[in-house]
């Protein structure tokens, strides 16, 4: 809701403004003693951290500890009387509060896991994004990383049939790198709602010639968009180094083995059912919590199988077993998926939710895609999977320039 205009004369009043951002320079401009910066700067950043199913004794300790240092914790109403075994806890405070809380928790036995969780969520390591794909380490300083979509299918919802000619597909992949793509995602099977599965042999025949050629002609990683181990194996042999699996390595029991043995990067996406049936199962209680829980379990399954955490990426699966409102909820809360501790990918390009809002066909959704790309970039999404690489690259460049406060 817009702020109402009620300006009257302010002569004699102090001039004031709500700051979009405040940092150490802002503090120094107020004339503070530089020696006070370590004390004041953490107070500029507020965080709300939700920790689920905390045991009663731990919830009480968190509540009392945060209150003692000026923060607070919202807990179940029955915590104070002891009439509950567990409580969700919403911790509220600035960075200084959380730093002091960690110091207090270090003296408490039995709270090591909670302390580590707080440390990882509130004080994550900073720096460029790094992932390991097939024994090669990749580092990106310009974020979000742009993944260009190259569908060699006759029936994909947006670009089906455009790149069936191998020579056109290869030229398009090369052009995407020139336009600023950091990865190229090659797919040989449509995953649009209602799409029917194709056989592995047919899928391989579509993607392998493209991957083999691109692997010798581009310098950026290539991913294979598939749920089949035989396709993933063939693609990696041809030069791909990332497996982008909409089933989160759950459909084909051999997919985990391929990912582990090759060291390929892995994109784990949330979906219910299959593309053919997924839109029949779109009801959720708490959609964000359910997606995060699912992806957390899939991450743990990968780690248990011997797949390195530095190879993993998660995708909340916009448009896969989601309603229009569910997709918007994902976008609104997209930053929360970073709590999983691995990079977040968003596949939003030309999706039906954009079409519903703008009342336009799939080939007329670029401005809507751009708006979501910009929102996702500002919210800290790590990878954008898009059809039009050049537009995403320009969006990233503008946002990066604004953040750096230089033209």
Looking at the annotation, which residues are catalytic? 351, 385
Structure token digits, residue 367: 């401005």
Given a contact cutoff of 8 angstroms between Cβ atoms, the answer to whether 103 and 76 are in contact is no
Q: Rounded to whole angstroms, how far apart are CA atoms 322 and 315?
A: 13
Q: Rounded to whole angstroms, how far apart are CA atoms 295 and 274?
A: 17
Query: CA nearest 381: which of 322, 315, 326?
Result: 315
**What is the sign of the dihedral through the CA atoms of 101, 107, 111 and 116?**
positive
DSSP state of 344: B
Residue 314: strand pairing partners = 268, 344
- Beta strands in 29-97, from DSSP E residues, in sequence order: 46-55, 72-74, 86-94
Q: Rounded to whole angstroms, how far apart are CA atoms 70 and 246?
A: 44
Query: CA nearest 51: which of 107, 115, 139?
Result: 115
User: Phi then psi for 130, rounded to 5 degrees?
Assistant: -130, 135
DSSP state of 384: E
Residue 102: strand pairing partners = none
Structure token digits, residue 16: 């004031």
Structure token digits, residue 376: 């996702």
Q: Rounded to whole angstroms, how far apart are CA atoms 113 and 121?
A: 12
């Amino acid at each position: 809701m817009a702020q109402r205009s009620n300006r009257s004369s302010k002569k004699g009043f102090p001039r004031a403004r709500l700051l979009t951002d405040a940092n150490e320079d802002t503090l120094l401009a107020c004339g503070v003693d530089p020696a006070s910066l370590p004390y004041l700067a953490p107070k500029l950043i507020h965080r709300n951290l939700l920790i689920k199913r905390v045991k009663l004794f731990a919830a009480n300790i968190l509540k009392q500890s945060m209150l003692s240092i000026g923060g607070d914790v919202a807990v179940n109403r029955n915590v104070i009387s002891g009439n509950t075994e567990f409580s969700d806890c919403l911790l509220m405070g600035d960075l200084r509060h959380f730093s002091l809380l960690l110091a207090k928790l270090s003296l408490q036995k039995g709270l090591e896991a909670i302390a580590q969780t707080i440390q990882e969520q509130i004080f994550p390591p900073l720096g460029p994004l790094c992932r390991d794909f097939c024994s090669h380490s990749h580092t990106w300083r310009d974020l979000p990383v742009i993944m260009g979509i190259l569908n060699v299918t006759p029936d994909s919802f947006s670009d089906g049939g455009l790149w069936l000619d191998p020579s056109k597909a290869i030229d398009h992949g090369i052009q995407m790198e020139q336009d600023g793509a950091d990865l190229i995602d090659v797919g040989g099977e449509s995953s649009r709602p209602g799409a029917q599965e194709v056989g592995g042999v047919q899928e391989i025949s579509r993607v392998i010639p493209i991957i083999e050629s691109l692997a010798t002609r581009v310098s950026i990683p290539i991913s294979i968009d598939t749920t089949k181990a035989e396709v993933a194996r063939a693609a990696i042999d041809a030069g791909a180094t990332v497996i982008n699996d909409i089933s989160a390595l759950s459909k084909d029991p051999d997919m985990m083995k391929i990912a582990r043995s090759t060291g390929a990067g892995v994109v784990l996406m949330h979906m219910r059912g299959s593309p053919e049936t997924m839109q029949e199962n779109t009801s959720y209680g708490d959609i964000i919590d359910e997606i995060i829980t699912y992806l957390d379990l899939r991450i743990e399954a990968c780690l248990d199988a011997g797949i390195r955490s530095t190879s993993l990426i998660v995708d909340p699966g916009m448009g896969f077993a989601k309603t229009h409102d569910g997709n918007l909820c994902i976008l609104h809360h997209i930053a929360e998926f970073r709590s999983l501790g691995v990079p977040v990918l968003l596949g939003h390009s030309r999706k039906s939710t954009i079409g519903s809002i703008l009342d336009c066909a799939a080939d007329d959704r670029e401005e809507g895609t751009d708006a979501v790309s910009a929102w996702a970039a500002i919210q800290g999404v790590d990878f954008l999977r898009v059809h039009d690489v050049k537009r995403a690259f320009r969006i990233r460049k503008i946002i990066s320039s604004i953040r750096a406060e230089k033209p």
